[in-house]
Structure 1
């Protein structure tokens, strides 16, 4: 009995010891679990404490100035929208200046962050602290790039949104043959760049809008995207000239001068008034051309018809002046050639004066003879008087016939010039309705050099 009690007591002591050891182990495991949870919570709280500036500074510290490099070394940039505005068009130099706002986005995975590490979907980075894609304008003469803002927006997955202004001048040849009644199209080739292995490809959306405005006498009608191939995309800009200014300053003055020359045929050509007026018209038109020489468009291969119009007007004015001078000479001479002038002929006024003196002498002689009572002398005096009067009437008739012939030729010249002007107007209208001259604005692409651009695609911007 006593042994049984001792065994039971010993077994009870072992059970108590095991229970205490279990409680001790449970307490230790609880302490370890609570400390680990505290550390994990502290870590999570530190990640959550990083705000947008903290994320932005972390990306700036990476100094990602080079382009994102993927397996095929090709960077794809999406052009989401384009706003186009024509600033000016140089008609004489055939150059168009434009301002283009381009909204674009691309993906740079190194700029992204995991969702569980930060709750912010977007951050803002300085534009000069990351890589920015370059844009090539194939037909550009001069291009200046300015950022729309000094910051870019970056999304969680590394997508960057940015906008730039392109101030560009492109060479554009437009058919100016029918100037100032001209409509034409001018391309602005916006593309990426391509080398032997690497390339920058632009995916341009159809969202192209036109900012209303006009470049001087030129007006922009519309603009749309034209895609020849994946590497050749351009904006087709439709332009038109407001003809009012050119009509008032170029066409109307020349038409009025030609009308004044035509009406000048109503002036008598005796005395030289008409000749002086026509010489004044020729000099005025010449000065008009000299003043407008710097303002007339060249037109490139398609020279404006207005140049030929001014040449025609000048030739007609000079011919009209010369014919008026010739008719003035024909009214007093038998021929307009100086070599055929009769040298022995006395001027009609001098001849009349001489004959009047002779008549006075004959009258005196006749009176003396009549007083002397000689019938033969009286008859001779009367015959001389009759002969003088007949010669005088003959000279008057010749002079009148010369003037009549000159006026008949003058009416013929008036009808000739009037017919020429009417025919000229009909021909000009017919020519302007036909498409004679052709221009090719897409010849700036060179197939031999295509795909081999040496372009520095990293823009540098100054800090504000």
Structure 2
């Protein structure tokens, strides 16, 4: 028994030496060793489970509006997306290495592709060139999206406008396989200030079909548009009303009104270069400027007509009758001069009857001159009467227009639907190519 016990101890000691020698020859595997081992696997394809569905968790989103083109109705944004997904082939057992995380090159493994359903153009950039991998195969990564989406906002009440634009962030779907994004509610707004448009908030919305999108709320700063468009148009109309105080004589009023019409066309050019001309919700400012231009032209034409009526009874231009009237007046003046000379000669000769006849002709001429002057005054008075009527007419028109304008702006007439790109009737099951650019 003692010999058998000694032999057992000897065998146990020898086996422990052999085991210790074997462990001493194997070097421990560090982080780089683990990373190189996973790079050598060349896992460029997506991790695929039994139902061929890849689930990517979007842990946080940082949104920033770069610009909004009011003319083209397009919004450009910068979106940083932090996401995680699980790839079991990238994991390792705790007995293999004691490190919980490693870093791998982003171009050596599979990275999910983010799709924007309503994007016109999208550029995807890697936030970093490396990804972090945990022991269980969970990969953490971040990408930055520079995207331009088409967004139709109700500009009917421009520049007093508020609206919202959707940014549909999704995965992709084919007939049997798909990439599903599970977006968290952690959506933050990085910057909301801009030159004209301001971003007030951004929220994650999930519709009835379980499709997620970011709803970006926008509002416009009305100060610049009010100072450059609305206020000048009101001041031009006020100047046109005040111009009714100018007299007809000399043509100062007509030239002033023509200047107002020409200057107002400048605001029309500014408006056409800044706002969209058509669409389902065309800005009310287009109709406002058209109304102002029509009123200015009508006021100018009325002033020209009244100037004509202050001189002639008829609006028809008859140059021949004016020449005949001028010739007749000159003939009467010549006859009067001749009669004055004859009267002076007759007076010298002492003929009392001839002197009375000459005086009678002078009296008749003066009476005719008085009639002509009274007729001219009557025409001018009639023209000024019509001028007062036109002044009151335009004041009434402007008051009625202001009331109608206030009522229209308070009514929700136009509505837009920015989610029409998700038309299920035209949706295909096959995957289609989205606009993207990888570095």
- Report if TM-score (shorter chain) is over 0.5: yes
What secondary structure is seen at the aligned counterpart in 1 of 2:176?
A: coil
Change (3 A) 1:19 1:427: closer
Give the length in aligned residue pairs.
438
Aligned to 2:104: 125
Aligned to 2:349: 372
What secondary structure is seen at the aligned counterpart in 1 of 2:282?
A: coil
Question: Residues of 2 paired with 1:178 and 1:372: CA distance?
Answer: 90
Question: Residues of 1 paired with 2:210 and 2:138: CA distance?
Answer: 23
1:434 to 397, 411, 426: 411
1:198 to 177, 199, 220: 177
Aligned to 1:9: none
Aligned to 1:4: none
Aligned to 1:361: 338
Change (3 A) 1:42 1:317: same
User: Given that residues 122 and 437 in structure 2 are in contact (C-alpha distance below 8 angstroms), is that contact kept between their aligned partners in structure 1?
Assistant: no
Structure 1 position 34 matched with structure 2 position 34:
no
User: Given that residues 124 and 438 in structure 2 are in contact (C-alpha distance below 8 angstroms), is that contact kept between their aligned partners in structure 1?
Assistant: no
TM-aligned CA deviation for residue 298 of structure 1: 3.4
Structure 1 position 423 matched with structure 2 position 397:
no
User: Given that residues 352 and 392 in structure 1 are in contact (C-alpha distance below 8 angstroms), is that contact kept between their aligned partners in structure 2?
Assistant: no
What secondary structure is seen at the aligned counterpart in 2 of 1:211?
A: strand
TM-aligned CA deviation for residue 382 of structure 1: 2.2
1:443 to 414, 420, 423: 420
Structure 1 position 251 matched with structure 2 position 234:
no
Structure 1 position 225 matched with structure 2 position 204:
yes
Change (3 A) 1:455 1:382: closer
Structure 1 position 401 matched with structure 2 position 381:
no
Question: Residues of 2 paired with 1:281 and 1:86: CA distance?
Answer: 40
Most deviating of 123-132 and 250-259: 250-259
Q: So what's the TM-score if we normalise by structure 1? A: 0.89
Most deviating of 152-161 and 381-390: 381-390
Aligned to 1:262: 241
Structure 1 position 62 matched with structure 2 position 41:
yes
Give unpaired runs (5+ residues) of structure 1: 1-17
Question: How large is the RMSD of aligned CA atoms in angstroms?
Answer: 2.3
The within-5 A match list for 1:40-55 is 41-42=23-24, 46=27, 49-55=28-34
Question: Residues of 1 paired with 2:432 and 2:30: CA distance?
Answer: 38
User: Given that residues 192 and 202 in structure 1 are in contact (C-alpha distance below 8 angstroms), is that contact kept between their aligned partners in structure 2?
Assistant: yes
Question: Residues of 1 paired with 2:239 and 2:87: CA distance?
Answer: 74
Aligned to 1:311: 290
1:112-145 Cα offsets, whole Å, 9 max, x none, are 0001111111111111111001111110000000
TM-aligned CA deviation for residue 284 of structure 1: 1.7
What secondary structure is seen at the aligned counterpart in 1 of 2:168?
A: strand
TM-aligned CA deviation for residue 98 of structure 1: 0.5
TM-aligned CA deviation for residue 339 of structure 1: 5.7
Structure 1 position 162 matched with structure 2 position 141:
yes
TM-aligned CA deviation for residue 345 of structure 1: 4.4
What secondary structure is seen at the aligned counterpart in 1 of 2:163?
A: strand
Question: Residues of 1 paired with 2:432 and 2:342: CA distance?
Answer: 114
Structure 1 position 321 matched with structure 2 position 303:
no
Question: Residues of 2 paired with 1:101 and 1:441: CA distance?
Answer: 23
Question: Residues of 1 paired with 2:60 and 2:45: CA distance?
Answer: 25
Question: Residues of 2 paired with 1:450 and 1:199: CA distance?
Answer: 15
Question: Residues of 2 paired with 1:229 and 1:200: CA distance?
Answer: 19
User: Given that residues 154 and 416 in structure 2 are in contact (C-alpha distance below 8 angstroms), is that contact kept between their aligned partners in structure 1?
Assistant: yes
Aligned to 2:364: 387
1:5-62 Cα offsets, whole Å, 9 max, x none, are xxxxxxxxxxxxx866x4773465134322343245437x63xx11111101111110
Change (3 A) 1:277 1:359: same
Question: Residues of 2 paired with 1:189 and 1:61: CA distance?
Answer: 36
Give unpaired runs (5+ residues) of structure 2: none
TM-aligned CA deviation for residue 373 of structure 1: 3.1
Question: Residues of 2 paired with 1:339 and 1:385: CA distance?
Answer: 30
Question: Residues of 1 paired with 2:6 and 2:247: CA distance?
Answer: 140
Aligned to 2:280: 301
1:184 to 163, 166, 182: 163
User: Given that residues 124 and 437 in structure 2 are in contact (C-alpha distance below 8 angstroms), is that contact kept between their aligned partners in structure 1?
Assistant: no
Structure 1 position 280 matched with structure 2 position 264:
no
User: Given that residues 159 and 221 in structure 2 are in contact (C-alpha distance below 8 angstroms), is that contact kept between their aligned partners in structure 1?
Assistant: yes
Question: Residues of 1 paired with 2:245 and 2:132: CA distance?
Answer: 79
User: Given that residues 158 and 285 in structure 2 are in contact (C-alpha distance below 8 angstroms), is that contact kept between their aligned partners in structure 1?
Assistant: yes
Q: So what's the TM-score if we normalise by structure 2? A: 0.94
Aligned to 1:209: 188
